[in-house]
Structures are given as C-alpha cells and as structure tokens.
Amino acid sequence: MTYPHPILAREGWPFIASSILLSIVVWVLAGFWWSLPVWLWTVFVIQFFRDPARPIPQDPSAVLSPADGRIVVIEQAFDPYAQRQALKISVFMNVFNVHSNRSPVDGILRTVQYFPGRFFNADLDKASEQNERNALVIDSAGRIVTAVQIAGLVARRILCYVKAGQTLQRGQRFGFIRFGSRVDVYLPLDAQSRVSIGDKVYASSTILAHLAA
C-alpha cells in the first residue's frame, strides 16, 4: 500500500517524542540555557525524520530516484543481485537529506535479499560490496531494475516493508535507512542516464534515467 506521506516519518516518532521530553525535563530541572543543546538536538532529529509528499512523474519509461541525495556513481557494473551487467547509478544521502526510500519504477518485486556487513562511509565505492545492505529486484514490464539500500558510517538500521511477489508503484514508499546512507540502482545497459555526478536528486520527483522501449 502506498505510504500516506505524513510531514514526519513514522520511524521518527519515538525519537522525536523522547527528544522533546528530554528537552523539557532538562529545561525544568536546570533552566533554558542548559537545555538549549538538547533542544538543538531535537531540531536535528525532527528535520532528519521529515517525510514530505513529492510529485511523481508518470512517464512509464522513467526511472525515478529512490532517495534524496547526491549522485556519486554512474558507471557500467555487474549487478550481483540480478546476475547481469548493468548501468549503475548511486545516490549518497547525508544526515540532512530525507531518508525515505521509494520505488523507482512500477513493477513486480521478484526478490528481496538482505546481507549483513560493515559500516564504511557510504560515499566510498567499497560500501556497495561490503556494507550491510538490502536489495530489491523489480521486474518492470520485462525490464529489470535493482534498488539496493546500503547502510553507512552512522546508519545502523535498514528498514524494508515490502516482500517478494508484491506489486510496486513508482514513488511508493518501501523503506527507510536511519542516519546517513546510500542507494544503488542497477539498470539495463541500454538505459539512458538523465543525471550527472554531483547532481542533487529528490526521491520520486527526479528522473535518474529512461528505459529503452
């Protein structure tokens, strides 16, 4: 089911509530100035878990960004989850980006593969192979698109809410990664990239590439 896109992500509610409570307690017991650092932390937590609605392009050939962030990789690479050569596009998310993960295409979710691993900086190439990760292989009308959630240096929790066999809609919220991470997208080799290294992208609203007919 498509996530209803609240202003704040449901994953953040316990963190936000506890931060606000702690800020109030410190304020009451020690005064405002002692509580100020805790209030600043609370503001950071609230901005981290924001989850705004986004416009979703309906072009059936468009592959949408599964995450907010910055493009760090565009290259031909081997997709180990679908066992093929592919065009790889990677999105790096820092702690100030929205961390909801959303489906890049319409399609049937063929497999969901989780791998435990390390926690290197997600900006590094080795993060794709060595960090904790969760891969979704999606069949979009016969065209395979793989989206991989990758934990980062600070991220310690990958959340995924979909299972193999489900039908995904473009822009549908399928997961969340807490506190800095990366998403790799593997596309057919004949896909045409629409982004460049260093570009800022936004989940669901930025077109990463177009699939060939």
Q: Return the number of other C-beta atoms located less than 10 Å from residue 8's C-beta.
A: 16
* Rounded Cα–Cα distance for residues 153 and 15 (Å): 20
Contacts of 181 (CB under 8 A, 6+ apart): 93, 99, 122, 149, 150, 151, 152, 155, 158
Enumerate the β-bridge partners of residue 148. 135, 184
Enumerate the β-bridge partners of residue 134. 114, 149
pLDDT, residue 1, reads 41
Q: Find the range with the poorest average confidence among 91-95, 127-131, 176-180, 193-197.
A: 127-131
* Rounded Cα–Cα distance for residues 160 and 112 (Å): 9
What number does CATH give the domain 62-210? 2.70.70
pLDDT digits (tens, 9 = 90+) for 79-132: 999 999 999 999 998 888 888 899 999 999 999 999 886 655 555 566 566 678
Does the annotation count 18 as an active-site position? no
**Selected catalytic residue, list 23, 103, 140, 181:** 181
Q: Domain spans of the chain? A: 10-48, 62-210
pLDDT digits (tens, 9 = 90+) for 119-171: 555 555 665 666 788 999 999 999 999 999 988 666 567 889 999 999 999 99
| Residue corresponding to tokens 């509530």 | 17
Q: Are 72 and 153 in contact (CB under 8 A)?
A: no
Q: Is the pLDDT of residue 3 over 60?
A: no
Average pLDDT along the chain: 87
The mean pLDDT of 182-199, rounded to a whole number, is 95
Tokens (6 digits) for 36: 């100020």
